[in-house]
Amino acid sequence: MFRKLVFPTSRAVKVAQKCVFRNASTTIRPRICIVGAGPAGFYTAQYILKHLDNSDIDIVEKLPVPFGLVRFGVAPDHPEVKNVINTFTKTAENPRVRFLGNLSLGKDFTLEELRERYHAVLLTYGADHDNTLNIPNENLQNVLSAREFVAWYNGLPGFENLNPDLSGKSLTLLGQGNVAVDVARIVLSGVDDLKKTDITEYALETLSQSRIETVHLVGRRGPLQAAFTIKELREMLKLSNCTTIWRSDDFDHVEESIPNLPRPRKRITELMVKSLAEQSPTKAPPVGRCFRPVFFRSPINIIGSGKVEAVEYVVNKLADGRAVPTEQRETIEADLVCRSIGYRAVSVDNHINFDARKGCVNNAGGRVLKRNLTGSDQTIDDIEDKYETGLYASGWLATGPTGVILTTMNNSFGVADLVCRDFASNTIRLNGSRPGLDLTGRTYVSWNGWKAIDSEEVRLGQAKGKPREKLTSIETMLQIASNASD
């Protein structure tokens, strides 16, 4: 819905206000703005609500809908991972929290404005740009990023018309992380299995007509350094009507290394070696779809005339765990290529102290660093006046795109704890109340507006036997939200 919100005067809030007035030093309520309604934003809010009494939190999001990568990044056939949305919903429905969707930092408001209108600001808007390979012909037709492909089948607004070309026989994924394996699994899965998920209807239609038979998953290092998790590998090995084919040469001396590996790495390596041992020794082409992991290869050239036809690789060897190129080359045919070599954040406001090379905010443990530090010849720990008071970053925007949702939770809880301690130590001074974001003339979506969108998606999904059918038109979302009541 679109109207200026005030914090509800529920009994719980009234009681808290009574407690406030018993102590004159705490009559001013800490007002905090969190920019980004993904996992980092919600985990940060959850911790602050529990540990900073009488604080009021605005969670501001550029899209009309919340949940970030949980909604748009988690694979549709992993509904159990999305259960965290229930926890995020409880946080958003706390009377001390406002959700303000459809508002963008750098477009609808500035960082300076936020810092003037809140006691503390936390930047948690994530990393939504791709790393690139910087090799010849990377911009050929049918060369995409895995992020774009995932955004397409998960219904992220702006990607509904991506229309990946699945008319060829082979897909190559450059990178071996979980995102790459997700794409492989979705492409190689039967459509009947996906029909029961919240994958978009247009993606289902395209996948139903896919002619992709082989997916290569290519990594620059070896099996002992593979970035995918054992859960993802198990799912690939159990995929119906799909054969996994390993290259035996990639596993030279791997089995003898297993006893000395840490337990998680040991388990996944044992699973790969077991799968290799069960592999048919015949050279006959497999019947049905095929998943082919390839190790020790780095792409150096994408080959094609008009659109991709193959990828040329340099063959690597390992030296101290690093991939070192040799003189050997290999070319593998490909009709579609998706690079999956990581995400990077971007700066959306000129006042953010941002490291473009690393693709994240300059921070120390979550506290954003000042641009110009005195004593620059010293280490960060030796500089006293180094932080932007009341300004923080958490999640991938602060750390880079590493780990899983649990990793983001732990990081966000840690940063939120810093915020609470900075208020407790009077580092952030409550020397006057702060008004919060001025919403005059701004079209935004409240939590009730999101609930109306959510209800419509669930209704559309039920008609198709799915949990929901995600809306991809922002205009439609805003229209539905505008009709919601307080």
369-428 pLDDT per residue, tens: 998 765 554 555 555 578 999 999 999 999 988 888 999 999 999 999 999 999 999 999
Q: Going from the first residue of the chain to its last (486 residues), give the mean pLDDT of each consecutive group of 10, the final group possibly shorter.
A: 39 28 60 98 98 97 97 96 97 98 97 98 95 95 96 97 97 97 97 95 97 98 96 96 96 95 96 94 77 98 96 96 96 98 92 93 95 60 76 96 91 98 95 95 96 98 96 98 82
Known binding residue 220? Answer is yes
Which residues is 147 bridged to in the sheet?
none
Known binding residue 421? Answer is no
Nearest of 174, 418, 210 to residue 308 by alpha carbon: 174
* Whole-angstrom distance, CA of residue 9 vs CA of residue 12: 8
Residue 280, Cβ density class (10 Å: 0-12 exposed, 13-18 middle, ≥19 buried):
exposed
What one-letter code names the amino acid at 356?
A
Q: What is the pLDDT of residue 329?
A: 98
Nearest of 131, 124, 33, 49 to residue 409 by alpha carbon: 124
Nearest of 454, 340, 474, 478 to residue 82 by alpha carbon: 454
Nearest of 304, 179, 176 to residue 246 by alpha carbon: 176
Known binding residue 395? Answer is no
Q: Which residues of 349-364 are buried (b: 16+ CB within 10 A; e: fewer)?
A: bebbbbeeeebbbbbe
Known binding residue 260? Answer is no
Cα-only R_g, the chain: 25
Walk me through the domains of the chain, giving residue ranges and CATH numbers. Answer: 31-128+345-444 (3.40.50.720), 131-342 (3.50.50.60)
Known binding residue 105? Answer is yes
Backbone torsions φ then ψ of 215, nearest 5 degrees: -120, 120
**Angle, nearest 10°, between helix axes 201-208 and 146-154?**
120
Known binding residue 148? Answer is no
Known binding residue 176? Answer is yes
- Structure confidence by residue, pLDDT tens digits, 35-68: 999 999 999 999 999 999 999 999 999 999 999 9
Known binding residue 403? Answer is yes
Backbone torsions φ then ψ of 170, nearest 5 degrees: -135, 140
Known binding residue 221? Answer is yes
What one-letter code names the amino acid at 262?
P
In this structure, the chain runs to a length of 486
Q: What is the pTM of this model?
A: 0.89
